[in-house]
Amino acid sequence: MKKLPKIFIVEDNAFYAMLLKNKILKNKLGKVESFSSGESFMDNLFKMPDIVLLDHNLGSMQGVDILKKIKSINPNIQVILLSGQEKMRVAITSLKYGAYDYVEKNDAAFNRIVSLIKRISKFNQILEEQKQFKIAKIIFSVFVGVMLIAAIFIQLYF
């Protein structure tokens, strides 16, 4: 069974955060935690989410600054930056610092976010399967090596 990703929403607009959370849960895309400030999110980053939906303007902190901190702690956390304004400069800057994507908060935002979460989840699942395959190959190689050594040992001493 596929593991649901841990998704953090960092959004100071409580209503918008609730809408995002409901959309994610309705589509069974992951386990969700919401944070209303950059500071409260940073205090919980040790929980290592798989995906972060990050508002660009959080009052005392800017989303891009939080993005930089996230990527310095764990570059494998995928961040989708959200903004109420269509600013090309913000989009380019967020992508430059490692955001998976930039989404303008408009009528199409929720469907786009759902699509992006599905894409990230699929990518993470493929990476996990590749990791497990590599581990299985190593274990098999070690097993074959031990069996060969045992066979040689038996031939030499028995």
121 within a domain of the structure (yes/no)? yes
> Mean pLDDT throughout 81-87?
85
Q: What is the pLDDT of residue 1?
A: 53
Domain that holds residue 74: 6-129
If one counts the domains in the chain, the total is 1
Q: For residues 32 and 51, what is the distance between their CA atoms, to the nearest angstrom? A: 10
Whole-prediction pTM: 0.82
Q: What's the CATH number where 120 sits?
A: 3.40.50.2300
Residue 146 in domain: no
pLDDT tens sequence across 120-143:
999 888 888 888 888 888 998 898
Tens digits of residue pLDDT in 86-106: 778 888 999 999 999 999 999
> Alpha-carbon distance 64 to 95, whole Å?
9
Query: Is 145 a domain residue?
Result: no
Per-residue pLDDT band at 40 (split at 50, 70, 90):
very high
42-45 long-range Cβ contacts below 8 angstroms, 24+ apart: 42/66, 42/69, 44/8, 45/69, 45/70, 45/73
Indicate whether 69 belongs to any domain: yes
